[in-house]
Amino acid sequence: MAFSRAKQHSFPFPNRVVQPIESKDSAYPAQLRGLPSRPKSLWFAGRMPTEGQRLVAIVGARAASRAGCDQAHALAAGLGRGGAAIVSGGAFGIDAAAHEGALASRAPTFAVLGCGTDVVYPDRHADLFARIAASGGLLSEYPPGTKPRHGQFPARNRIIAGLAQAVIVVEAAMRSGALITARLGRAYGRILFAVPGSPGTDATLRAGLALPAASAADVERVLAGGSPTAPVSTSLTAPPTPGPMALVLDAIALRADAPASLCERLGMPLPSILAILAEAELEGFVRRAAGNTYEVIGRVC
C-alpha cells in the first residue's frame, strides 16, 4: 500500500545525492556485517557512519506524549555532547525528538527510513531530513523512489538496532514497534535501556530486560563500563499524556467513525484528522471500512 502524501524533494544542500553501498564494500558498517539478515546494500544521502563512531539508538512511540518527546530530546542532546551519534527512524514523536536533540547539540544523527532516501515520509519532515543529511545521513535498504509501504518500517528496525552500541526505548505501548527494535537489539548483543513511565518500558524494566535510563549520564556510565543506576519503581509512574494519534485511535476504538465525526468528537481540524488517519492506515493501526469509516486493527506504538 503506497502513501499518496509521501513526496520526493530536492534537499537544499550539495550532498543530497543518494549513493549506494554494497555489503562487500569496505565502507559498509562493520556492525551490520554480522547480522543474520543484513541488508545486501544501503542507500544513503549525506554520509554513512564512520568506522569506530559511537552510535546510540533512541526509539519510541509515534503517538508520543510531550514529556516523552522532551525526554528523548534531552537524552539525545546529552549523549551528543558526550560524543555519541544518534540513530533513529525519522518518524513522528520520539524519533523526531531524538534527531532534534542530536542536532541541537551539533552531534551527527542518522535516520534509517522505511522508504527511499529521496522520499520524504512523513512529508512534514522535509526540513528535518535536510538537516539530518547535512549533519549525518539518511539511510535505507530501499532504492531511491521506493514509497513507504506497510511492512517496510518493521524491517528497518533491525538496521537501527544493528548499527547501535546501545538502544534506548523512551516511550512505548505494550505491543510496540519500539519494543521490536529493543528485542532485536538484545538479540544482537546491544545494551538495552528503557525510560520508566509508559506501559511498554515499565514492563520491560520489571522483566529485567533493560536498564533504567533517566538521563544521558545513566547511559554513559554503563557504556563506559560502570554500574547502572538502581532500578526505578514503575508502580507509581503516571501514564503519559496521549499524543494526537493516540487520541484518534482511542476514539475509533470506542466507535468506528468517519473523519468528519471524529473532528466533532475530538475538536480537531479535518486536515489534522486526515493526516493522522493516513499514517495510522499505512502503519497498520487502522483500516478503512464501509461508509468511509475507520476501525482500529492494531496498536503498534
User: Which DSSP state fits 168?
Assistant: E
Mark whether 118 and 267 lie in a shared domain. no
CATH, residue 266? 1.10.10.10
CATH, residue 198? 3.40.50.450
Contact 190, 209 (CB under 8 A): no
Q: Is 196 helix (H, G, I), strand (E, B) or coil?
A: coil
Mark whether 52 and 163 lie in a shared domain. yes
pLDDT tens digits, one per residue of 145-194: 999 887 788 789 999 999 999 999 999 887 777 888 888 888 899 999 99
pLDDT tens digits, one per residue of 45-89: 999 999 888 999 999 988 888 999 999 999 999 999 999 999 999
d(CA 34, CA 16): 29
Domain count along the chain: 2
Q: Helix (H) and strand (E) counts for the chain?
A: 11, 13
228, part of any domain: no
Task: Give the structural domain span for 193.
Answer: 18-215
d(CA 69, CA 87): 15
In terms of pTM, does the model score above 0.85? no
Closest CA to 160 of 110, 120, 116, 123: 110
Residue appearing with cell numbers 538479540: 187
pLDDT tens digits, one per residue of 276-296: 888 777 766 788 888 888 887
Helices of type H across the chain: 30-33, 66-81, 94-104, 126-135, 152-163, 177-187, 199-206, 216-223, 244-254, 259-266, 270-282
